[in-house]
Amino acid sequence: MASLSTLFLSGGLRRYAAAAALVAGALVASPAKAQTWMVSTTPYVKLGVLDKYNALGGYSAVFIVTEEKSNKQFLLTKVVAKGENGVDVFFPTEPSDPEYFKNMAGLAAQPTPGNYTWECRVNGKRAVGGHFVYPETGNDVIVVGSAKR
């Protein structure tokens, strides 16, 4: 009569070894595929206004960004609640955001590289402003392949 260990070694281990060899062979025999990456670069400019001493309580802040070349304007209104003293926004804002920079026709800002000016009107009066250069960006895609043997 055969021992339990002899049966395990003769049947179970052989089947496991055969399955492992089959999987290893499939991995070695499968053709190598190149990896392709998708890439995106989107710059944002952070604009902000702050009531340093919280003298106003709550207020309405209207950010106006103007592209100097075309004179196109984009607006975003934020309400600052009483007890909060400031707000920061990003230009451009994603159109999926419920509050986004848009022109007078309601279209989302699609900024182009170039010079911009901005201002923030608090309760209808110009409070702060400035200028920035929206950068041009580029992307490189590298395809990584395997060497043929």
Fold classification of 45-134 is Immunoglobulin-like (2.60.40)
Q: Is 63 exposed, middle or buried (0-12, 13-18, 19+ CB in 10 A)?
A: buried
Strand partners for 80: 59
The pTM of the whole model exceeds 0.85: no
Task: Report the pLDDT value the prediction gives residue 139, as an integer from 0 to 100.
Answer: 80
What does the domain layout of the chain look like in residue ranges? 1-30, 45-134
The arithmetic mean of pLDDT across residues 119-132, rounded, is: 96
The arithmetic mean of pLDDT across residues 30-41, rounded, is: 70
The arithmetic mean of pLDDT across residues 37-45, rounded, is: 86
Residue 124 φ/ψ, nearest 5 degrees? 90, -10
**Percent residues over pLDDT 70 in the chain:** 72
Cα–Cα distance for residue pair 68/140, rounded to 1 Å: 29
pLDDT digits (tens, 9 = 90+) for 49-101: 999 988 888 999 999 999 999 999 999 999 999 989 899 999 999 878 899 99
Task: Report the pLDDT value the prediction gives residue 70, as an integer from 0 to 100.
Answer: 94
Enter the tokens of residue 10: 């003769």
User: Among candidates 67, 66, 62, 70, which has minimal Cα distance to 127?
Assistant: 62
Enter the tokens of residue 37: 């990456």
Cα–Cα distance for residue pair 81/84, rounded to 1 Å: 6
Strand-pair category, 86-91 with 59-67: unpaired
